[in-house]
Structure 1
């Protein structure tokens, strides 16, 4: 039944190493056997046999130089040396004043060698400058980019809004053909500066047809040549989602900034809806328009013959 009461088996009893000295107050071999060992290592001193020195904080008291006390003793020695240096400086300053009173020539005033140096604003600015230079050089070393491959923030989004109102004719002059002017485009009435993408929106670029105009319809239909208009009538739900997607793209872009709005002429509701550039979709749009002009019995709606 012993394995039930002690499933881990009999453990070896810890015994006091024979080479250890008996603690103070232990008398005889029986007392030495009953006392718990002070350390698992043989020859471990049970008494503090390190040399003693005078306690820096309590005159007349002796403290041990054991390892635990050495940081305190070293700091106390450092404080004493600092205090002595300060006292010597005070003495030299008094002698200097006496020389001045006697009219003797003295050199420049010596600063206190124990005075704490204040960093000040200039020190903080220097530290920030050095840290910035280090971060930039580290980015170039590790990533090959001074900005750690991060896009520089657009400061325009933090500036107060200064929306400018464009007419359609004025907006057309910012299509990139004039290298001295920025490139603007509009989508659903909002004008954006896309000069940062001149290779894309400038002459010869894949999206040059969108520059200098509000081609909101083309963003939904994909008819970049024939739908360069802000007229959004007759678009399907998926095409409207496409327009909204691009509106959000430009509105949240860190590369392109909003610069104003464009004043459009009113669209005549009786004018025809722009025809889709794909014949199949154009035919489907005609059928949908024809169906919308009839009632549920196939008759034409009121007002039509």
Structure 2
């Protein structure tokens, strides 16, 4: 604390001198000057060395350019013009794509770490965007879907579950009088979760428990992966379905069996 000693005694503090044993290196900016090789000097020394290397490379390039111009003046054949090695490279399309790729990966990992989702919990909004994408599929209204309930001989039998329409004509249980005929010609997604086949023949899934929603998802996968039941079109729901009184729902379990 030299300043404290000066303020108390009035004497000048002793000047610190690096010992001769301290490692020293050549100062790249001043010839014949040695500087201490300590951590504080390393960034300066490294930058000076880099500048000297760049300057040397540039001068060598200028010399090659001079020789090339002389050959051209004499009419001699020369190769393609060499680019200045010290000139900064421009970021091309590949560089931009690489940059955006890193940004997307970083954003996804940050979302997983901070929000628990790679898409920052935007799955629902992304799913809603699909409804604006044009499709070549013919949409079924509820009244149109009802015409495919098996009551007309020779006409296919369709059912819908959560908006997806399937052709179940080959299933005997869906024929008139069959045990699952009540699913024909209607989107009864709610009934697949609750097991209330008479009162919950509606597509409205509001108010279902997680277990009931898992039941609906199970049956969606059942029809999607079935070898004989093929997906037909999307079911366009016309009008708003009314939610049945919960008191009408009975506790029941839907047996998963091959239909």
Give the alignment's TM-score, normalised by structure 1.
0.40
Whichever of the two has the greater Rg, that structure is 1
Give the alignment's TM-score, normalised by structure 2.
0.46
